[in-house]
Structure 1
Amino acid sequence: MYEDALSRVDLFSELSKKELQALAKSCQERSYKAGSTIIAQGDSGVGLYIITAGNVHVTRQTAGHEEEDLGTLGAGNVLGEMALLDDLPRSATVSAVDDVTALLLPVWEFRSFLRDHTDVALKLLVVLSRRLRKAESQHAE
């Protein structure tokens, strides 16, 4: 069940069905009430979230202390993907617009999974390399 949601995460696009099934065992389903904060800008990343039901609103505090509206996301959208790979603070705040259900892949579970499945780490490097090349080519234009 959770492997279907994980298969839609770009970072995991190179993983086999068997690898996705193994990774899915580390996922937890979480529920959030309307109005609650799921992710707070500046906090450390707990993990990756995949929204399975409901909508969230994303905002970011600018350097001038103004709130920038980054939009609304719903079922199927992914939040905090990069938190699995780095320990940088969250770059935005995500709040539940209505009651939200999400899958959480905690960073500590993900890193433990990588230690046990080193071949998956190589597949993630392929995806990240593609992203970097794409970003560089867009920047050059």
Structure 2
Amino acid sequence: MYEDALARVDLFSALDKKELQALAKSCQERSYNAGATLIAQGDSGVGLYIITSGNVRITKSKEAGTEETLGALGAGNVLGEMSLLDDLPRSATVTAVDDVKALLLPVWEFRTFLRNHPDVALKLLSVLSRRLRKAENTHAE
């Protein structure tokens, strides 16, 4: 069931059906009421979120206590995928605009999955390499 949602995540685009099914076993369904914070700027990353219903607003705190709205996302969108790979603090806050349902792939579950499926790590490196090349080409123009 969750493997379809995972298959739409760019980071997991190289995984086969069996790998996606194994990874999906680590996902948890979460519900958030309107106004609830899914991700807080500056916190450590708990994992990746896939919004299955509802909408969220993404904001970033600025100097002097001001807040900038970076955008809004809805069902099918992914939040925090890089937290699966690094331990850097969250760069923005994500708040539920209305009631939100999401799948959470906790970082500790993902890392256990990688230890048990080391070939997946190579596939992820390939995806990240393509992203880096694309970003470098975009900045070179």
Regarding TM over 0.5, the answer is yes
Where does 1:1-141 land on structure 2 (aligned, <5 Å)?
1-63=1-63, 65-141=65-141
Scaled by the length of structure 1, the TM-score of the pair is: 0.98
Query: Hey, what's the Cα distance between the residues in 2 that align with 1:54 and 1:107?
Result: 23
Q: Could you say if the C-alpha distance between residues 42 and 13 of structure 1 is closer, same or farther in structure 2, counting changes exceeding 3 Å?
A: same
CA-based RMSD: 0.8
Q: What secondary structure does 1:31 align onto?
A: strand
In 2: Cα distance, 1:119 partner to 1:28 partner: 24
State the 1:106 CA deviation: 0.1
TM-score by length of 2: 0.98
- Partners in 2 of 1:108 and 1:60 — Cα distance? 26
SS state at 1:14 partner: coil
Q: Distance in 1 between matches of 2:114 and 2:122?
A: 10
1:87 partner SS: coil
**4+ aligned runs moved over 4 Å, structure 1:** none
Q: In structure 1, what is the Cα distance between the partners aligned to 2:136 and 2:62?
A: 25
Using the aligned pairs only, state the percent identity. Answer: 81
User: What is the SS of the residue equivalent to 2:42?
Assistant: coil
Equivalenced residues, count: 141
Name structure 2 gaps, 5 residues minimum: none
Q: Which shifted more, 58-67 or 39-48?
A: 58-67
**SS of residue in 2 equivalent to 1:23:** helix
Rounded to whole Å, the distance in 2 between the matches of 1:9 and 1:107 is 15
User: Could you tell me which amino acid in structure 1 is paired with residue 2 of structure 2?
Assistant: Y
CA distance in 2, matches of 1:131, 1:62: 28
Q: Residue 112 of structure 1 aligns to which amino acid in structure 2?
A: T
- Report the CA distance shift for 1:138/1:63 in structure 2 as closer, same or farther (over 3 A): farther
Unaligned runs of 5+ in 1: none
Distance 1:111 1:2 in 2: 18
How many angstroms does 1:65 deviate by? Answer: 3.9
Structure 1 residue 77, shift from structure 2 partner: 0.3
